[in-house]
Structure 1
Amino acid sequence: MTSLLVISSAPAAIVDEKLFLDIKFVEGMRYYNELWDGQVSCILKLRAGTFPFGQTYAPDELPFNVTLLRGDKGIGSDEISGHDIILCGGDNHEYLNLADISRDARKKLVFIIEYIPETRRQIIFLDPSRSLPRKLYSLLWTMKQERRRRRAFRIADGIQANGHPAFSVYSPMNANTMMYLDNRVGETLLATENEMEAREQRLPSGAPLRLLHSGRLEHLKGSQDLVPIARRLAAKDVDFTLDIFGTGSLEDEIRKGVAEHGLRDKVRLNGAVDFESELVPFARQHADVYLNCHRQSDPSCTYIENLGCGLAVIGYGNRMWSALCRESNAGWVAPLGDAQALTDAVVDAASNRQRVVECCIAARDFASQHSFENEFRQRIHHLQALA
């Protein structure tokens, strides 16, 4: 049997002598354990205090082994000893030295990658808390780490690229590169036939177009565009509602803008809610279109997750959504950062309900092909081929 070691940047803590772990990470590890013919283990960095989207687990609740690294301790040959295949997060610069270590120890190493250099630059320059000198320093440091990353990826035995942008940038560096679309929508969370039919019957009736936005309310996510878009839609007499889910530094500003511009009957802030038990059912039953203001090209789960709820997507043409929209035929693409164009796309959708219906159907069909289970099977088969 072959042993699999997953080295992840997912957070971990100890609370009341129990492990406090990210729920999504644990579910992924459970799936590895179910499909892997051999021992499954993981290494996580220990941090202080709890964090969002986590819960406590007794060690005997988990079907995989967990090793916690304290402080600044790195991962070397001792930590990977006894394992045959290592799956490691390549976005974290601290793990790039494992390319040489694994090669010398004759271990098979596969890196996971999500961010591309463009996204890293966007994160730096869209951060309002950094001064220009700090941004320039961060840019130079990031460029140095990128050179290390590319060397490590050429040495590795394979790459798993999350999303089209990462696959496009890094696949030329390693012939054994596969693409996957990470998301939390399992087959049981996909919109049901009854929910799809209800939306298809409602949309042509002239009822308000129901927009949904979810995620962190931050400049990086383009949340500052939500109120201006809603104002323009109201000025154009578009019959719509916009439900916003999430919290962040822009929450008070958005709430103030909604009140000042008389949008309370159109725009609702719902705060942070549980993904599976609250957000997904709401999206499936009370929304038509996912409004995405995301400027970054990272492979956010939100695309597939909302497609899986049967929602058409109207979003900025970052590299991820542009590629995904072409592949899925499930929505509209507006020029990057052009809030007026994004508004015009919503106006077009409101006046072309049949196209919205077609996009919703295409969205659900596409997401069903890329469910959580399907994507994980593909990734595990990629690893098993190395055994």
Structure 2
Amino acid sequence: MKPRLILVPSVHVVRDAEGLRMDDKFIEGIRMFAREWDGPVRVVIREYDGALPFSRRIDPADLPCELRVIGPEIPITPEDLQGGDIVLAAADDFRQMSLPPVCAAVGARLVYAIEYDLATRMAVSQMDLATLRPLKRLLRTLRAKQWLLSHERRLRRALRAADGVQANGFPAWTAYRGLSASPCLYLDGRMSRDAMATPADQARRAAQTGPLRIVHAGRLIAMKGSQDLVPFAQALRDEGVDFTLDIFGTGPMRAPMAADLARLGLGGEADLPGGQPGPVRLHQPVDFSTELVPWMRDKADLFVAFHRQSDPSCSYLEAMGCGLAVMGSSNAMWTELAKQSQGGWVAPMGQPATMARQIAALNRTDIMTAGERALHYAQDHDFDREFARRIDHLRQLAPALTPAQHAST
């Protein structure tokens, strides 16, 4: 028998009158696991009672795996994992902390995948409470910290009890690698090597004259630092920088951002006929592979990221794979990635005017050189290579995989 892999993700499915909806990126992940894993794959996934952006309708029969859907708060049972040889579960979902004894009961090895460290979870909770009145915010902050510290103890016990840990990004790797006898670091992204910038792209970018072409893409929310975009553009103008700034994304901050851009004469919605003139253009979200990547390879010089927390955002590596230098905030993830890659610069978090001054001090040669370094680093950490690292790690731990099978894969 070939070893059976069971995935227990933190993402959800939504059930409506017409069937199930599932996250687009997770669907592609399932297909990759099914293609690369030498054996059957089962997904145990929870339902969610709400909207699921960036999703599409699925027919379970069309998926290359067995799909088991359980209720939102239903614990994973031995029946869900029966017949499994190795379980890969999301440790960022607190409902998965009880899995070690369940896996032991069915004889399956357990590997946790984790993205957030305690500092990141603390930062996210603070942002969620930012709009409350001061007294209520203080009380909620104390309760949140107490819960997070208690959860951290449970998390660390679970990671120690697991057979392996896969850490996405440097903060989680630093925080949790010492808890496991078999840790694995990976950098998540969506770009394969053949989708990345070519020498012709880089030559065309280097020959470009005119405004510095800056781009930002992602959800327009406080956690991603979207509140810094308009002050940043205003500061660039005040510094006398000749620039354009194209912003791709949607979220609760989009409408007030468009209003502020128009009020300040900085630009606005790019897709409206007769839109506001100015260096800043707000675009609707576009398909990543077919539209955003070609656009960034051809029409941008520098990517800006204002992330207020240290999550292992794939935006960094994806921009770098397009041949772009990155100017990012001083969170733990980007600080280490910038140090390793030399593919950009670190600006103080929450200080868009300082970031604008740093950019004003750069010349095109600085930016092109950093873009080349960024591209080389991204090529060394493309999606296929990072995914293969995860699969190899699981193969080494799978109890049913014999040495002969391992040698043949």
With the shorter chain as reference, the TM-score category is over 0.9
Moved over 3 A (4+): 14-19
* Correspondence 1:343 to 2:343: no
1:100-115 to 2 correspondences below 5 Å:
100-115=101-116
Query: How far 1:16 sits from its partner (Å)?
Result: 5.7
Q: 2:313 aligns with which of 297, 300, 303?
A: 300
Query: How far 1:258 sits from its partner (Å)?
Result: 1.1
Q: Which residue does 1:25 correspond to in 2?
A: 26
1:22-171 to 2 correspondences below 5 Å:
22-48=23-49, 50-127=51-128, 128-130=130-132, 131-132=136-137, 133-171=139-177
Provide the C-alpha distance between the structure 1 equivalents of 2:105 and 2:69, rounded to a whole number of angstroms. Answer: 24
CA contact (8 A) 2:212 2:301 kept: yes
CA contact (8 A) 1:20 1:50 kept: no
Number of residues of Structure 1 aligned to a counterpart in Structure 2: 382
Provide the C-alpha distance between the structure 1 equivalents of 2:333 and 2:384, rounded to a whole number of angstroms. Answer: 21
Letter of the 1:278 partner, please give it.
Answer: E
CA contact (8 A) 1:307 1:367 kept: yes
Deviations 1:269-293 (CA, angstroms, capped at 9, x unpaired): 1122222222212111111111111
Give the percent of matched residue pairs that are identical in Structure 1 and Structure 2: 39
Provide the C-alpha distance between the structure 2 equivalents of 1:17 and 1:2, rounded to a whole number of angstroms. Answer: 34
Q: Which residue does 2:221 correspond to in 1?
A: 218
SS of residue matched to 1:99:
helix
Letter of the 2:30 partner, please give it.
Answer: M
Provide the C-alpha distance between the structure 1 equivalents of 2:281 and 2:373, rounded to a whole number of angstroms. Answer: 27
Provide the C-alpha distance between the structure 1 equivalents of 2:219 and 2:358, rounded to a whole number of angstroms. Answer: 23
Query: How far 1:17 sits from its partner (Å)?
Result: 4.8
Bigger mean CA deviation after superposition, 212-221 or 12-21: 12-21
CA contact (8 A) 1:171 1:177 kept: yes
Q: Which residue does 2:381 correspond to in 1?
A: 370
Provide the C-alpha distance between the structure 2 equivalents of 1:268 and 1:331, rounded to a whole number of angstroms. Answer: 23
Query: How far 1:103 sits from its partner (Å)?
Result: 2.9
SS of residue matched to 1:75:
coil
RMSD: 1.5
Deviations 1:58-92 (CA, angstroms, capped at 9, x unpaired): 22321111110124221022211110000000001
Q: Which residue does 1:235 correspond to in 2?
A: 238
* Correspondence 1:246 to 2:235: no
> TM-score, normalised to structure 1's length?
0.95
1:239-318 to 2 correspondences below 5 Å:
239-264=242-267, 265-318=278-331
Query: How far 1:197 sits from its partner (Å)?
Result: 1.6
Query: How far 1:247 sits from its partner (Å)?
Result: 1.4
Provide the C-alpha distance between the structure 2 equivalents of 1:140 and 1:100, rounded to a whole number of angstroms. Answer: 26
CA contact (8 A) 2:171 2:333 kept: yes
CA contact (8 A) 1:291 1:315 kept: yes
Provide the C-alpha distance between the structure 1 equivalents of 2:376 and 2:19, rounded to a whole number of angstroms. Answer: 40
Provide the C-alpha distance between the structure 1 equivalents of 2:106 and 2:61, rounded to a whole number of angstroms. Answer: 31
SS of residue matched to 1:385:
helix
Letter of the 1:309 partner, please give it.
Answer: C
Distance 1:166 1:311, change over 3 A: same
CA contact (8 A) 1:90 1:149 kept: yes
Deviations 1:92-128 (CA, angstroms, capped at 9, x unpaired): 1100100222234432000000001111111111223
Query: How far 1:331 sits from its partner (Å)?
Result: 0.4
Letter of the 1:224 partner, please give it.
Answer: Q
SS of residue matched to 1:126:
helix
Query: How far 1:312 sits from its partner (Å)?
Result: 0.5
